[in-house]
Amino acid sequence: MKTVKMKSKGIISWPTNERPRERLLAEGPERMTDADLLAICLRIGSGTFRVGVRGTSAYEAALAILKDFRGLRGLDRAHVQDLLKVPGLGPAKVSQIKAAFELGKRLCAGKLIAPSFASSAAVAAHFRPLLIGKRQEVVIAVFLNGQNQHLGETEITEGTPTQATVYVRRVIEGALRISAAAVVLVHNHPSGNSEPSAGDDDTTDHLQKACKLVGLVLLDHIIVGDTEHYSYSDSGRLQEFTNE
């Protein structure tokens, strides 16, 4: 295991071949540690990171930040106001960190886009990078054609951490506007647990009945957790609502 050498001086005083930015260019980003990459983000712009403590480098600051927020996942979930409380992190640095996380999520989502959502796993994989880390419930209506090909999507609502009210009318209007044949409802649970609640059951029941009235098919309601997802269709519960 490589021993991490703590350096008390700023990164600019390090040997060139040991500086995170220069190492990234020479060795590639995949060889960098989380602290290396975060240190590079902290140094963008002014080229230095000032924390009010003389002799603290951006690398040491990155290590401390990752420890305080319990790694990258915690840092991603951290509220802007909490980050601004960290000595040395002003609006510019916080914006850079948040922008880096968002770019990563969008890249992941782009890589996972497929011409057809043939399974609940494909839908969950597509939306997880966009939903993971959200502090509130976000509900997205996904519109498909008769071949389950993705026509479009719309964010219906963003609610509190414990409840998100789904506006059935907005889902139906959005689907009819682009002549969709089917709808998949997707939302997250900020807790990271993908198990459905009683409110999720009610939403599924009401939306399915509304879709049936206008000739649409509710293909699935998928709850996206941190590592797993729940599918009303795969579990057989969507059919139970249909038979009621």
Beta strands, E only, the chain? 138-144, 150-158, 182-188, 217-224, 229-231
Q: For residue range 109-167, list pLDDT tens digits in order.
A: 665 444 467 789 989 988 998 898 888 899 999 999 988 888 889 888 766 655 555 67
d(Cα 178, Cα 173) in Å, to the nearest integer?
9
* 67-105 pLDDT, tens digit each: 999 999 999 999 999 999 998 888 999 999 999 998 888
Give the up-direction half-sphere exposure of residue 58: CA atoms within 13 A in the CB hemisphere: 24
Q: Which domains does the chain have, with CATH numbers?
A: 11-107 (1.10.150), 114-243 (3.40.140.10)
pTM of the model: 0.56
